[in-house]
Chain A
Amino acid sequence: MQTEIVLAGFGGQGILFAGQLLAYAAMDSGKEVTWIPSYGPEMRGGTANCTVIIADEEIGSPTVRNPKAVLAFNLPSLDKYEPMVIQGGVLIANQSLINRQVQRTDIVHVMIPANEIAEEIGDKRLTNMVMLGALLHKLPVLTLEAIEKTLEERLPARRKHLLGLNSQALRRGAEFAQREPAYSV
């Protein structure tokens, strides 16, 4: 069993961190995991993306053409990755920065106003946690509790006070995804 998740958006949206959080939580849950960023000049141009693979056995390729899930944090990322999601896979799209609908009907998708939800909670920087919460509801590769436990163990002391907000953001994202009637094959 192997689950591939691509997180894509602008630099500054916490994409790489959200991916690493998934990777840490997977490792802490005793799974095999790889996290690989798309590094390089592309990164300097303001886009950021990474691939996380979570598996029960030795992982081969750290990247795949057709991931099981995509978190598209902005429109260019949706344009690029919507066609790539594997049939029956999951697409979480950040409605706050996307002005079109998801076209695919053979995947599960959630359009979520992640920026607004994050701002409601009190910090726009929680957008990534909202997105992650939505993902984990539709693709329960890890539990929210596992993510929270990892956050608790790995957040540096000076950021420990943000634990509650992070947790709230994860849960708001999951709740939103739960309410959203998901399209599926």
Chain B
Amino acid sequence: MARELLEGNMAMAEAAIRAGVQAYFGYPITPQTELLEWMAKRMPELGRAFVQAESEVAAINMVYGAACTGVRVMSSSSSPGVSLMMEGLSYIAGTELPVVLIDVVRGGPGLGNIAPSQGDYNQIVHGGGHGDYHPIVLAPASVQEAVDLVVLAFDLAEKYRSIVVVLADGNIGQMMEPVELPEMQPVERPIPDWAVRGCEGRGRRVLSSIYIKPEEEEVTNLRLLQRWQTVQDNEIRYREYFMDDAEIVVLGYGTAGRIAFSAVRQARAEGIPVGLFRPVSLSPYPYAQVKAIAQRAKAMLVVEMNTGQMLDDVLRAVEGKVPVEFYGRLGGVVPYPDEILDEIRRIARGPISIGVDPRQAWMKRLSQLIMN
């Protein structure tokens, strides 16, 4: 199939359309607005539902309603808007509905800025709305991967009756790259047996996140957890580069991961035995794989566009077996590959010790860098 040069936001929107999304509800926010605009044009011409909601609060609740009918539905937003959606996401999780959300993360907290950031890792991967649930979170590092993960997101959402978040950032949303789009899937799909569409010819159905008796909510929470374990067992995804003989392993996801890829490739050219491990599923997180890397690597370097939110997951997996270093840029600043290359060189020169808190050590280095 021919490649097309597409902007990330538009490519993700078109991928969702081809995956059979039947209803989209959203609200304009930079740097994700082109996704909404693409939907505004394409959905009506295909006879599908599009509403520009009055707020992200309304948008996610429209998604909630539409998801109850058993069709493929989605929304997209960026950090402040996703904060507003947390209420609805919790209800969706509690009602066990399949929903896809694309979060094109920007710098924060607060109004922050519109530059690319990974500051919402904890909010999306570990946080979210109230209550005890896990969303599936997929992090693309290129426009093609974003397209592929959006399609996968719909499949996983349906398979596990789960929220699936495609966690992108401003770079992925705004950049253009050649992509192969998937085939258009039919929008008519089998309607699941829990869907609420009017009770003609069957008993009435109720979809709700209420379990007013704690004992029943406990059963529900346990069911969600059991389902989550199936997800953990089956849906770990990651990519490895130069890992076969790597003594130093760089870990990064999304944009930070692909920037690290440039640095790793340059370091390899300099003869440094370094590899890259790029988690694609952030939730479920590839703990076992990171743990295995810690058994054989001499040092690890976590690279993020935040203050080390994934770092904590890596440290949890590594269990102190190997020295871990950290490099992050903050608030919407995107690192250049040479910054990461310098870190790799520094680690290669050694020695680095296990006892040092990687975040503390990095804070000192970063302070020197950005105060100059």
Assess the A63–B334 pair: CB atoms within 8 A.
yes
**Interface residues in B322-361 (C-beta closer than 8 Å to A):** 334, 336-338
Question: Could you say which residues of chain B place their CB within 8 Å of the CB of A61?
Answer: 258-259, 261-263, 336-337
Assess the A27–B178 pair: CB atoms within 8 A.
yes
B184 at the interface (CB under 8 A from A): no
**Interface residues in A21-48 (C-beta closer than 8 Å to B):** 23-24, 27, 32-37, 39-41
A64 at the interface (CB under 8 A from B): yes
A62 at the interface (CB under 8 A from B): yes
Assess the B337–A23 pair: CB atoms within 8 A.
no
- Given A20-B5, A39-B170, A65-B336, A60:B176 Cβ within 8 A: no
Question: Could you say which residues of chain A place their CB within 8 Å of the CB of B95?
Answer: none
- Given A41-B114, A60-B262, A60-B265, A35:B336 Cβ within 8 A: no
Assess the B176–A64 pair: CB atoms within 8 A.
no
B30 at the interface (CB under 8 A from A): yes
B141, closest chain A residue (CB): A60
- Given A60-B265, A64-B337, A35:B114 Cβ within 8 A: no
Min C-beta distance of A109 to chain B, whole Å: 23
Assess the B31–A39 pair: CB atoms within 8 A.
yes
Render A64-89 as a binary contact track against B, CB cut-off 8 A, 1 for contact: 11100000000000000000000000
Assess the A35–B176 pair: CB atoms within 8 A.
yes
- Given A36-B174, A61-B259, A24:B5 Cβ within 8 A: yes
Assess the A20–B259 pair: CB atoms within 8 A.
no
Render B4-43 as a binary contact track against A, CB cut-off 8 A, 1 for contact: 0100000000000000000000000011000000000000
Question: Could you say which residues of chain A place their CB within 8 Å of the CB of B263?
Answer: 60-61
Assess the A34–B175 pair: CB atoms within 8 A.
yes
B143, closest chain A residue (CB): A34
Min C-beta distance of A77 to chain B, whole Å: 19
CA gap between A33 and B265 in the complex, in Å: 17
Q: Which residue numbers of B lie inside 8 Å of A, CB to CB? A: 3, 5, 30-31, 113-115, 170-171, 174-178, 255, 258-263, 265, 334, 336-338
User: Please, could you name 9 A-B residue pairs with CB atoms under 8 Å apart, sorted by A?
Assistant: A23-B5, A35-B175, A36-B176, A39-B174, A40-B115, A61-B261, A61-B337, A64-B337, A65-B337
